[in-house]
Structure 1
Amino acid sequence: MKFCMILEFFVPYYNGGGERRYYELTKRLVEKGHEVDILTMKIKNTEEHEVQEGINIYHIGPTIENPPQRSKQDFIVYGRAVLKWLHSHNYDIIDAQSYSPLLPATMYSKRVNIPVIGTIYDTSTNNQDQWIQSSSLAYKAEKFLVKRPFTKILTVSRATEKSLVNDFNVDANKIEVNYIGVDLESIDSVKCNKKDNNRVLFVGRLVPHKHVDHLLKIINNLKEKIPGIHLVIVGKGIEKDNLLHYISENSLEDYVEFMQDLSNEELIYQMKLANILALPSTREGFGMVLSEANACHTPTIAYASGGVVEVVDDTKTGYLVEPEDIDTFQEKIEYILNNKNVEEKLGLQGRKNVEEKFNWDNIVLEYINLASKLINCKNMKK
């Protein structure tokens, strides 16, 4: 099969959960003999065409200097470039990641009758829970885009599937769930034979719904109770200046460290070094960093939002906390840091859970079977 995957960014230029999922998925498709073209936005100072592990990556449309920052005009230019590309190339199936790639993909698919998978990771239920600055516009766009004429919608959790049906009136028969796997071989190749002391890790975009400010408040409350407590924040985004302001106001410079643009190996090392991975996010389609941390024998604590509840097995691999309950979140961090036996037990169970539930071999096979079925159905209708 010849796949066209459409997403705004791709690794290594941006290492979000969705981008890394496509990387892990597509390199395995290539290993199994399939062809894959990736269409992404141009990144400053990169080649228009490059090949990673057999994956063809084409940078088209607008030139982005600092991913993921892009303008409304960038979305328009990118959409036009995608349409132009599709009209001059042939594919068996198209897979478009939410949100801006969904429109040109479905427009083209409708004209030429090529099956299109719309990959949607998460949804919002109000216009205050958006991942970009223009929340009101984004909410309206989301309501429109999730109802586009996809052959199938693919999502990564039952929670998002439920939201699409209940909040956006999407036909449940059009939705398939395909979890995000964990590359255990890659994780095990990164050597780290120690755990730091009282080290809390956050990995993700620095945007409002991730609530990194909640972690800063917790660190501020615990800095006297737990000597040497240290928060490492891996990521970048529009909230960074606000976070730095809070750190300065509360004299937390010795307790908080920022990192960004880490390689996958560097990120895994940080996960192995940490005592806890904390994700106080109120909007999360899956929470890939949680399963990866568990694969590193690192316990997780997260707000019980979206697909997170399918990743964290409460009290067994980590803890789930009601969204925005900062006090309980703090209690769980304090409990793990003060009880090394609990940390070790949660870490062992976390690893076992990942091995059983998030195996890439099974997940890729499910994806290939879905794509084959959609292509065969299209051919039968000719």
Structure 2
Amino acid sequence: MRVAVAFDCFYPLSTGGGERQYRLFAETFVGEGAQVDYLTRRQWSGPAPVLDGVDVVAVSGPSELYDEHGGRRLLPAVRYAAGLFSHLVRARRRYDVLVVSALPVLNVFAARLALLGTRTRICADFLEVWRPEQWVEYSGPVVGRVACALQGLAVRVSPWVSCHSQMNARRLVAAGARRPPVVSPGLIHQVPEQDPGLEQRQPATVLYVGRHIPDKQVEVLPAAVAWARERVPGLRAVVLGEGQTTTRVAAEVARWGLQEVVDLPGFVSQERLDALLRDAAVLVNPSRREGYGLVVVEACATGTPVVLVDGVDNASVELVEEGVNGFVAAGVEPEVLGAAIVAAVEGGTALRASTRAWFEAVAPQRTVRVAATALLDRLRAPEPASGR
């Protein structure tokens, strides 16, 4: 079987949950006996990256994906979709299966058109499915409505669709998916074998991991930490990452007089990130939009409980069992988010133990490799036509 994975980023040349997911998909397909091509844009100079069993193929040239506001730029998306279309036209009979990322959605149309009339089984993988209101807020009233319409059309023209949360599965069904979506059981990258140690380190530290963009709402953290410090003296915070709202985050730190309490180191090495996840008293992610929430399970793997914020677009709350591996705050107000932080810190060793136990219970069947294998099994199994 010949399988292609199409995504315009390649890990570790660019980092993120999607990048790691699709690389692991490709590696898992190889482990299942498939020959695999990874179709991406050029992010390297010289020879293509070497990946055992996977041919990494550049179908478009280098480009800057994001604008100064952290949004995806249109031109690189068009260039990649055009390059993907051209490659697939030349290789129309090459692939038995194509897993194409629907981020951006133009990829789906390029693949569907190029392979029309072939026997290639195409699955559009949706990292997220946005509501119309999200598209309008993100792209404006005109472009946003067009993008929303294209998203719906991409769902309907895809023979198979997959996603990574029940929230997005419901949205795919509502958008007119031809078949029931393939919903991955989880996206855990690996199950740590070492006991992380469950004693809470001192001083107790709040940790944030992620980009600084409006949807992440990172700027609400200083006020919540200030509120929590009135109940937990000595509480500190480390806010990792950077982005367009970093200046607002720093301004809030200064406004609450927390310059000696909150560290803003930017991005750090994987080794440093692993240590911070292990040593934190609680991981706090106030994001209002998450397609899955990989950092939640990464924290739980170390016994670190999490605090999330409830929201109609936040699929990561599906990963939290209240009081078992963390808490879901009803809002981002200092007293609401701060109270959830206090509850997690005061949970101490008992909460850390139940968090690690939760992870050990769910991890074996919630890995990326399990998800990739289930997807490949679905795509290569005989299935009747949808009738549409």
- Alignment partner for residue 103 of structure 1, among 103, 106, 109? 109
* 1:61 Cα deviation from its structure 2 partner: 2.2
The question of 1:308 aligning with 2:310 is answered: no
The question of 1:206 aligning with 2:212 is answered: yes
Match of 1:313, SS state, is coil
The question of 1:94 aligning with 2:101 is answered: no
Q: How many residues align?
A: 374
Please give the alpha-carbon distance, in whole angstroms, between the structure 2 residues aligned to 1:193 and 1:14: 32
Q: Is the 8 A contact 1:9 1:40 kept in 2?
A: yes
Q: Greater shift after overlay, 352-361 or 206-215?
A: 352-361
Q: Is the 8 A contact 2:48 2:57 kept in 1?
A: yes
Which residue is equivalent to 2:76? 74
Q: Is the 8 A contact 1:48 1:59 kept in 2?
A: no
Please give the alpha-carbon distance, in whole angstroms, between the structure 1 residues aligned to 2:361 and 2:136: 30
> Residue 42 of structure 2 aligns to which amino acid in structure 1?
K
Unaligned runs of 5+ in 2: none
Which residue is equivalent to 1:16? 16
Which residue is equivalent to 2:160? 152
Q: Is the 8 A contact 1:284 1:307 kept in 2?
A: yes
* Cα root mean square deviation, aligned: 3.1
Q: Normalising by the residue count of structure 2, what TM-score does the alignment of the two structures yield?
A: 0.84
Please give the alpha-carbon distance, in whole angstroms, between the structure 2 residues aligned to 1:189 and 1:35: 33
The question of 1:32 aligning with 2:32 is answered: yes
Match of 1:4, SS state, is strand
Please give the alpha-carbon distance, in whole angstroms, between the structure 1 residues aligned to 2:65 and 2:242: 10
Which residue is equivalent to 2:236? 230
> Residue 96 of structure 2 aligns to which amino acid in structure 1?
D
Match of 2:232, SS state, is coil
Which residue is equivalent to 2:85? 83
Which residue is equivalent to 2:63? 64
Match of 1:320, SS state, is strand
* 1:119 Cα deviation from its structure 2 partner: 0.7
Q: Greater shift after overlay, 17-26 or 125-134?
A: 125-134
Which residue is equivalent to 1:341? 349
* 1:114 Cα deviation from its structure 2 partner: 2.1
* 1:240 Cα deviation from its structure 2 partner: 2.0
Match of 1:184, SS state, is coil
Q: Is the 8 A contact 1:64 1:70 kept in 2?
A: no
- Alignment partner for residue 293 of structure 2, among 273, 279, 287? 287
Q: Greater shift after overlay, 66-75 or 326-335?
A: 66-75
CA deviation profile, 1:208-228 (whole Å, cap 9, x unmatched): 111112222212333454333
Please give the alpha-carbon distance, in whole angstroms, between the structure 2 residues aligned to 1:10 and 1:355: 25
Q: Is the 8 A contact 2:11 2:19 kept in 1?
A: yes
* 1:188 Cα deviation from its structure 2 partner: 3.7
Which residue is equivalent to 1:364? 372
| Percent sequence identity over aligned pairs | 19
**Residue correspondence of structure 1 range 255-294 to structure 2 within 5 A:** 255-294=261-300
Q: 1:377 to 1:13 in 2, by over 3 A?
A: farther
* 1:202 Cα deviation from its structure 2 partner: 1.7
Q: Is the 8 A contact 2:158 2:178 kept in 1?
A: no
Please give the alpha-carbon distance, in whole angstroms, between the structure 1 residues aligned to 2:349 and 2:198: 17
Q: Normalising by the residue count of structure 1, what TM-score does the alignment of the two structures yield?
A: 0.85
Q: Greater shift after overlay, 139-148 or 213-222?
A: 139-148
* 1:69 Cα deviation from its structure 2 partner: 6.4
Please give the alpha-carbon distance, in whole angstroms, between the structure 1 residues aligned to 2:367 and 2:134: 34
Q: Is the 8 A contact 2:173 2:180 kept in 1?
A: no
> Residue 3 of structure 1 aligns to which amino acid in structure 2?
V
Please give the alpha-carbon distance, in whole angstroms, between the structure 2 residues aligned to 1:340 and 1:193: 9
Q: 1:66 to 1:97 in 2, by over 3 A?
A: closer
Match of 1:147, SS state, is helix
CA deviation profile, 1:210-267 (whole Å, cap 9, x unmatched): 1112222212333454333222223333222322333334333322233455454443
* 1:299 Cα deviation from its structure 2 partner: 0.7
